[in-house]
């Protein structure tokens, strides 16, 4: 129950057990072209898709080095570890990060973002971390940012590393120019493939203003794909087979059904864990549907709790980041998650708390969760 890497279906794991192929062959085209087309379906875009052999951070960095130039102003909400890292990437690329800063657990409001646009009419781009996994928060106004970026045709970039495939993304409809994710999150594939989708306007800009980098040079990927359906560098072939199979599972379930399942399970986790006496860290209007961050009860030691939970009950969760270390723990709700995962996690956490001397009501937790799960 980590917020990534998540459980990988056996069907996806088996897809990697294939003979090695030549990445400059027709065999590779038969593998890679479906990966690209299925990715575009999930992102709901007619733009280009590149399936990078990299971590999610690599795809985020690719978006920065291909768009941000020296002196460019970039507005970015910052309220946690990953949004802070993204702001730093922007500055390392020579850009000026206009941070809309809020405390961890609280999202910047749309009015605060609008004010940043009002004060920076020469802004080059708006970047955001859609789902801040370090604090369990999620921006809920992505469909309204286009009204702000359209003022001066600034670019709109969404870091969706931990949430695409678990929540609705309408890339073209919402006017998103660039978006990316990581395969090891809501896609339920092994880590190492991170797709990035690029709209026509951003693609033209990248080609006209190529970056000073080699591996993350997206125009090279566009060129190779248009000419031969290849990649410019050797990709992680076994992981692409797994990724392709994971895409099939997503599309077989139906993207809308998958998102409904994620929302239902997160609602059940919030309800069930609250019923046993735990409190969510993020403010209610900012809470994520794929990462549930919870405050530790007074006196509850982080490592002892998580080690007991994993050692005795075989449920693995994540601790806190940075200054939140030891103050919160985080439960992933993404990928394969379903009724079984939700009920077992609530039961295991309640039992662990009981072993450590805390008074809990596991039946109340399970009953609250079951009421939410009735929609599945």
User: pLDDT tens across 36-45, in order?
Assistant: 999 999 999 9
Provide, rounded to the nearest whole percent, the portion of the chain with pLDDT above 90. 98
Q: Is the pLDDT at 356 greater than 90, yes or no? A: yes
200 and 124: one domain? yes
Pairing assessment for the beta strands 328-332 and 318-319 based on DSSP bridges: antiparallel
pLDDT for position 299: 94
112 and 204: one domain? yes
159 and 268: one domain? no
Across 70-94, average pLDDT? 97
230 and 95: one domain? yes
159 and 66: one domain? yes
- Total domains in the chain come to 2
Q: Is the pLDDT at 34 greater than 90, yes or no? A: yes
Residue 330 structure tokens: 């985080």
Q: Is the pLDDT at 323 greater than 90, yes or no? A: no
Q: Is the pLDDT at 376 greater than 90, yes or no? A: no
Say if CB 53 and CB 235 are below 8 A apart. Answer: yes
Q: Is the pLDDT at 187 greater than 90, yes or no? A: yes
Q: How long is the chain?
A: 376
Say if CB 34 and CB 53 are below 8 A apart. Answer: no
**Does the predicted TM-score (pTM) go above 0.85?**
yes
Domain range for residue 335?
255-373
d(CA 174, CA 193): 25
Q: Is 74 helix (H, G, I), strand (E, B) or coil?
A: strand
184 and 277: one domain? no
pLDDT for position 321: 86
Residue 317 structure tokens: 């969760």
If you average pLDDT over every residue of the chain, what do you get?
97
d(CA 182, CA 189): 9
């Amino acid at each position: 129950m980590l917020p990534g890497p998540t459980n990988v279906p056996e069907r996806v794991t088996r897809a990697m057990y294939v003979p090695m192929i030549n990445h400059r062959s027709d065999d590779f085209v038969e593998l890679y072209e479906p990966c690209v087309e299925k990715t575009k379906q999930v992102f709901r875009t007619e733009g280009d898709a590149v399936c990078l052999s990299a971590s999610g951070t690599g795809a985020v960095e690719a978006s920065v080095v291909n768009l941000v130039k020296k002196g460019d102003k970039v507005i970015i909400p910052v309220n946690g570890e990953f949004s802070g890292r993204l702001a730093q990437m922007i500055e390392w690329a020579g850009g000026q990060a206009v941070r809309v800063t809020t405390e961890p657990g609280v999202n910047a409001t749309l009015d605060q973002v609008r004010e940043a646009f009002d004060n920076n009419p020469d802004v080059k781009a708006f970047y955001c971390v859609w789902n801040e996994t370090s604090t369990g928060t999620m921006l809920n106004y992505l469909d309204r940012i286009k009204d702000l970026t359209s003022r001066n045709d600034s670019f709109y970039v969404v870091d969706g590393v931990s949430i695409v495939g678990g929540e609705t993304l309408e890339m073209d409809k919402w006017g998103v120019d660039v978006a990316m994710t990581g395969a090891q999150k809501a896609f339920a594939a092994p880590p190492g493939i991170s797709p990035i989708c690029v709209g026509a306007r951003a693609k033209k800009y990248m080609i006209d203003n190529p970056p000073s980098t080699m591996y993350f040079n997206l125009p090279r990927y566009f060129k190779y794909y248009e000419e031969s359906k290849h990649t410019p560098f050797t990709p992680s072939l076994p992981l692409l087979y797994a990724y392709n199979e994971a895409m099939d599972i997503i599309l077989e379930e139906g993207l809308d059904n998958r998102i409904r399942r994620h929302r239902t399970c997160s609602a059940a986790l919030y309800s069930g864990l609250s019923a046993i006496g735990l409190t969510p860290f993020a403010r209610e209007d900012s809470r994520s549907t794929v990462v549930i961050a919870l405050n530790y009860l007074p006196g509850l030691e982080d490592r002892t709790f998580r080690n007991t939970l994993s050692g005795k009950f075989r449920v693995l969760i994540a601790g806190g980041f940075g200054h939140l270390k030891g103050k919160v723990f985080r439960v992933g709700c993404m990928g394969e998650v379903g009724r079984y995962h939700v009920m077992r996690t609530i039961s295991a956490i309640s039992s662990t708390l009981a072993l450590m001397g805390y008074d809990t009501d596991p039946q109340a937790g399970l009953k609250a969760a079951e009421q939410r799960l009735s929609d599945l």
